[in-house]
Amino acid sequence: MQTGVAVPDPGERRSAAASSRPLRVLVVEDERKVAEALRQGLAGEGYDVVVETSGEAAFFRLTTDRFDLILLDLRLPGRDGIEILSAVRRRGLQTPVVVLTARDTLEDRVVGLDAGADDYVVKPFAFAELLARIRAVARRGRPAEAERLTVDTLVIDCTTRRVTRAGGAVDLTAKEFELLLHLTRHARQVVSRDTLAREVWRETARSTTLDNVIDVHVSRLRRKIDAAHPVRLIHTVRGVGFVLREAGSS
Ligand code: CA
């Protein structure tokens, strides 16, 4: 659930259709023949295509690279498409996703759309149909509401991953950004170290070492976000965890 205040910013929305550079598409498909056909077909249409053949590789790719659109097979070995999609949306990435489902089962479609997919195509599909869906989704883009989170003078642009405080750019590492995003998405709620270990560090078990790592990241983040400002946003709740909130709220 998103609790930060959303500020629409139509000016920063990227219109794929209006852009002159090629649309960058990530294809996640474990069947190599299908993946290769998609790569060739989309490249032939002028798209800039990257193919990943496993859920893990796709997930890693999405933490380091940016795309205008994701074509995601739901049935993948290891981390399946739904897991990838949910993780991507939890992290605040609003990249449009078209899901490829193996069968026309209502369940697959509902689960896919619930997890944050924009559209789906049932395999086997006609390439022309897929192209039409891609164009439609890219043109539509994502609603602007989800792209920015604001608490006090802190603004997080989830799409560009740019963070500002009182208008000044804040330079964060990837992990600091994820930590801040998690705290902001759960603003005014106490977030435990357990939750941070699981959601931000993706560790299943807590350890003293990991607790220390979390504390170090929180104090660095606090220095970058709060040090120069009269209103502190990141607060420690002794023995429990952390909370991000503006002054005056509890
Ligand atoms: Ca598959």
CA of 208 to the centre of ligand 1 (A): 39
Q: Are 109 and 101 in contact (CB under 8 A)?
A: yes
Q: Which residue among 120, 143, 166 closes a domain?
A: 143
Q: Give yes or no for residue 8 having a pLDDT over 50.
A: no
177 and 234 in a single domain? The answer is yes
185 and 110 in a single domain? The answer is no
CA of 200 to the centre of ligand 1 (A): 27
119 and 223 in a single domain? The answer is no
Please count the structural domains in the chain.
2
Q: How far apart are CA 166 and CA 229, in angstroms?
A: 8
* Residues in contact with 6: Cβ distance below 8 Å, sequence separation at least 6, in sequence order: 145, 146, 147, 148, 149, 150
CA of 167 to the centre of ligand 1 (A): 45
- Burial group, residue 120, by CB count within 10 angstroms (0-12, 13-18, 19+): buried
97 and 150 in a single domain? The answer is no
Q: How far apart are CA 218 and CA 215, in angstroms?
A: 5
Element (H, E) at 155: strand 154-157
Report residue 218 as tokens.
């929180």
24 and 65 in a single domain? The answer is yes
Q: What are the pLDDT digits (tens) for 191-235?
A: 999 889 888 887 877 788 889 999 999 999 999 999 989 999 999
Q: Give yes or no for residue 111 having a pLDDT over 80.
A: no
Query: At 223, which CATH number?
Result: 1.10.10.10
CA of 126 to the centre of ligand 1 (A): 17
Q: Are 158 and 2 in contact (CB under 8 A)?
A: no
CA of 75 to the centre of ligand 1 (A): 4
pLDDT at 21: 67
Q: Are 179 and 217 in contact (CB under 8 A)?
A: yes
Sequence length of the chain is 250
Nearest to 163 by CA among 226, 120, 219: 226
pLDDT at 155: 94
Classify the phi-psi angles of 56: left when phi > 0, otherwise alpha if psi is within -120 to 50, otherwise beta: alpha
CA of 32 to the centre of ligand 1 (A): 9
Q: How confident is the model at residue 16 (pLDDT cuts 50, 70, 90)?
A: very low
CA of 73 to the centre of ligand 1 (A): 6
Q: Which residue among 89, 120, 143 closes a domain?
A: 143
CA of 72 to the centre of ligand 1 (A): 9
CA of 189 to the centre of ligand 1 (A): 38
Assigned domain for 231 exists: yes
pLDDT at 106: 65
Q: How confident is the model at residue 141 (pLDDT cuts 50, 70, 90)?
A: low
Q: Which residue among 125, 143, 161 closes a domain?
A: 143
77: containing domain: 10-143
CA of 31 to the centre of ligand 1 (A): 6
169 and 96 in a single domain? The answer is no
pLDDT at 2: 40
> Which region among 48-52, 79-83, 173-177, 228-232 has the lowest average model confidence (pLDDT)?
79-83
CA of 10 to the centre of ligand 1 (A): 36
CA of 49 to the centre of ligand 1 (A): 18
CA of 56 to the centre of ligand 1 (A): 14
